[in-house]
Amino acid sequence: MMNLVVVHYSDGIIMKGKTGDFFPNKDVFHLQGQLNDEMKQIFIQDLKAVYFVKSFEGNAEYTEKIDVERAGFGKKIRVQFKDGEVQYGYTQGYTPNRPGFLVFPCDPNSNNERIYVIASATVQVQFV
């Protein structure tokens, strides 16, 4: 199954495409470009996060709610990235010594289905 993803590099570059071989425990995955079928090898160590999205377009007018309680998604968390972005969500797998962890957005209407956060791209991760 192919997932729609938006890949954010730690240097600010953003790429959109599809992947069928992303696994949190692997160091590399492949991205088929959104605009062409070129397959690129993506190294996790170069990234800030991988956003699994419902659509590439999203809705720029929509403001994501962070005060929504969602059962079954784990503990509520606040992630502050080195670039200043702050992401709220829920996680079941945050451990400080792991290279990354999944975050599920607070808002079920978010365009993001889940986000794989690269721990080295964060300055603060806390349960809220």
List pLDDT tens digits, range 53-66. Answer: 999 999 989 999 99
For residues 83-97, give the mean pLDDT. 94
pLDDT of residue 37: 80
How buried is 15 (Cβ within 10 angstroms: 0-12 exposed, 13-18 middle, 19+ buried)? middle
Tell which residue, 49, 43, 34, has the closest CA to residue 3. 34
Q: How confident is the model at residue 36 (pLDDT cuts 50, 70, 90)?
A: confident
Please report the pLDDT score of residue 4 as a whole number.
97
When the pLDDT of each residue in the chain is averaged and rounded to a whole number, the result is 95
